[in-house]
Amino acid sequence: MKVCEFPVKSKEHADKPFTDKQNKLQAGKFALVEFNKRIVFAPHCMRNVSMCCAIDKGGYYVCDQCGGCKINAISKLVKELGYKALYVVKGGRTIEKIVTEENPEAIVGIACFFEGDQAFKMLKDKKIVIQFVPLTKDGCTATDTDLAQVERVLKQTTKTVCE
């Protein structure tokens, strides 16, 4: 059982070489996928629970853009770019279920290195390309990610890859 502790900085991690390699391998194919065929998964632990008004859908939340955490900016950009959806997920089983139901061609996943590693392995037999963005501070609550990195990945198209 994974024991949650206070948030810790994710610097170098045992799963980082694998996730870096997968990101590089899949970046070209990811850039070819239209925005409306991509979905985004962000972890629920990034929410600011003291003010979060996201709608609880069971296995995931729908961000209501209260401005309390970085998911607000991610949600805004996802809508502007025309992504299919953003899910603020509670766990891996929900991701599997959503992928089966939504049938996306590409996924942007924001997660800790361990979860990123698991996602690449879980979806390796499906024809879905993944780009993973790690948390910069993991744990069970008040986690964080590099917003600039998320934005770079979300905006990635063949044009940006060729530049």
The string of DSSP letters for 32-76 reads HS-GGGEEEEEEGGGS-TTT--PEE-SSEEE----SSSTHHHHHH
Of 2-10, 14-22, 30-38, 45-53, the segment contacting ligand SF4 by CB under 6 A is 45-53
Q: Is 68 in the site for ligand SF4 (CB under 6 A)?
A: yes
Q: Are 82 and 65 in contact (CB under 8 A)?
A: no
Q: Is 144 in the site for ligand SF4 (CB under 6 A)?
A: no
* Shortest distance, position 51 Cβ to ligand SF4, whole Å: 6
- Written as six digits, the tokens of 136 are 């910069």
Q: Is 47 in the site for ligand SF4 (CB under 6 A)?
A: yes
Q: Is 107 in the site for ligand SF4 (CB under 6 A)?
A: no
State which of residues 16, 20, 29, 48 lies at the interface with ligand SF4 (CB under 6 A): 48
User: What are the residues whose beta carbons fall under 8 Å from the beta carbon of 142, sequence distance 6 or more?
Assistant: 7, 45, 48
Question: What residues make contact with ligand SF4 under the rule CB under 6 A?
Answer: 47-48, 51-54, 63-69, 71-72, 88
